[in-house]
């Protein structure tokens, strides 16, 4: 199927959240390496455009409109991928939604639940249905978490909670799967230029519609995705992408109050 020099040649890769941002760029970079892709997201039109670009780069692409917060749709995504390609080698749990509101300002608790449902349970559902097949291929399981999954971000309680849950979920799976040959890689980016802040859910449950200044100055999505592909290829355990994030994790151990004050200021 592949070798160390071409780890993703003919590798069957399922990517959730593939219509925009990191998921889209991962699809394009993996297609250039000859991957056989199953692209999942809610926006079918955007997925079609991504698939066309993947084909132009030398990969294969199956378009699977999917809402990962719906368990049955996640099951259909995995089963349809199997019907198309006959196996699953890699699952990239990337689909996610941001949040930007103080918890005490939310107008209704389902706004909080929606973020958890997409970011966390979307991973749980897809992983549950894909795992038997990943065991067969001794494949790769990847979770795109966030630095917010390590250091909580104010005005993002639901997002931080969902990303912390992702880290714990995949850390536990890594131990459980240690003898099955399935690698588990958790990615923790900081801010990346994906437009996620404009789609973040506000206190009223509606998208904000504006990109934050901090995102405009952030890591380019191409750079972030390239680092993810490299980590996947090497089956790394975890990647914290920024120096600031690594320093923050160190400080959190010895001076957590400092980390809190920096987070509040930023």
- pLDDT tens-digit map of 38-86: 999 999 999 999 999 999 999 999 999 999 999 999 999 999 999 999 9
139-148 as b/e, with b when 16 or more CB fall inside 10 Å? bbbbbbbbbb
Is the pLDDT at 259 greater than 90? The verdict is no
Q: What is the mean pLDDT of the chain?
A: 93
For residue 61, the model assigns a pLDDT of 98
Express each pLDDT in 121-170 by its tens digit: 999 999 999 999 999 999 999 999 999 999 998 999 999 999 999 999 99
Average pLDDT over residues 19-23: 95
Among candidate residues 246, 199, 236, 194, the one with its CA nearest the CA of residue 219: 194
Find the angle CA(19)-CA(190)-CA(102) to the nearest 5 degrees: 90
Record the pTM.
Answer: 0.93
Domains and CATH numbers, the chain: 12-265 (3.40.50.720)
Q: Which residue has the higher pLDDT, 246 or 17?
A: 17
The residues pairing with 12 across neighbouring beta strands, listed in sequence order, are 36
Which residues of 66-152 form beta strands (DSSP E)?
A: 90-93, 140-144
Give the span between the Cα atoms of 35 and 20, in whole angstroms. 18
Average pLDDT of the segment spanning 9-33: 97
pLDDT at 263 exceeding the cut of 80? no
Which residue numbers are catalytic?
A: 159
Tell me what pLDDT residue 3 has: 60
Check residue 112 and give its pLDDT: 96
What is the maximum span of the chain, computed from C-alpha positions, in angstroms?
52
Confidence of residue 245 (pLDDT cuts 50, 70, 90): confident
């Amino acid at each position: 199927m592949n070798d160390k020099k071409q780890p993703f040649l003919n590798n069957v890769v399922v990517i959730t959240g593939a219509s925009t941002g990191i998921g889209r760029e991962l699809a394009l970079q993996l297609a250039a390496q000859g991957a056989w892709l199953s692209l999942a997201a809610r926006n079918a039109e955007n997925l079609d455009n991504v698939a066309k670009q993947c084909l132009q780069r030398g990969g294969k692409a199956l378009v699977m409109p999917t809402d990962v917060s719906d368990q049955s749709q996640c099951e259909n995504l995995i089963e349809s991928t199997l019907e198309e390609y006959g196996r699953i080698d890699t699952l990239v749990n990337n689909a996610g939604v941001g949040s930007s509101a103080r918890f005490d300002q939310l107008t209704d608790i389902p706004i909080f639940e929606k973020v958890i449902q997409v970011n966390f349970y979307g991973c749980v559902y897809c992983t549950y249905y894909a795992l038997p097949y990943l065991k067969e291929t001794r494949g790769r399981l990847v979770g795109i978490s966030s630095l917010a999954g390590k250091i909580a971000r104010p005005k993002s309680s639901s997002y931080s909670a969902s990303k912390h849950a992702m880290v714990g979920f995949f850390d536990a799976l890594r131990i459980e799967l240690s003898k099955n040959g399935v690698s588990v890689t958790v990615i923790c980016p900081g801010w990346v230029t994906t437009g996620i802040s404009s789609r973040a859910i506000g206190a009223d449950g509606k998208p904000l519609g504006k990109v934050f200044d901090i995102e405009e100055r952030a890591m380019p999505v191409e750079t972030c995705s390239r680092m993810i592909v490299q980590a996947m290829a090497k089956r790394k355990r975890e990647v914290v992408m920024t120096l600031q994030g690594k320093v923050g994790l160190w400080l959190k151990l010895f001076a957590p109050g400092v980390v809190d004050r920096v987070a509040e200021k930023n």
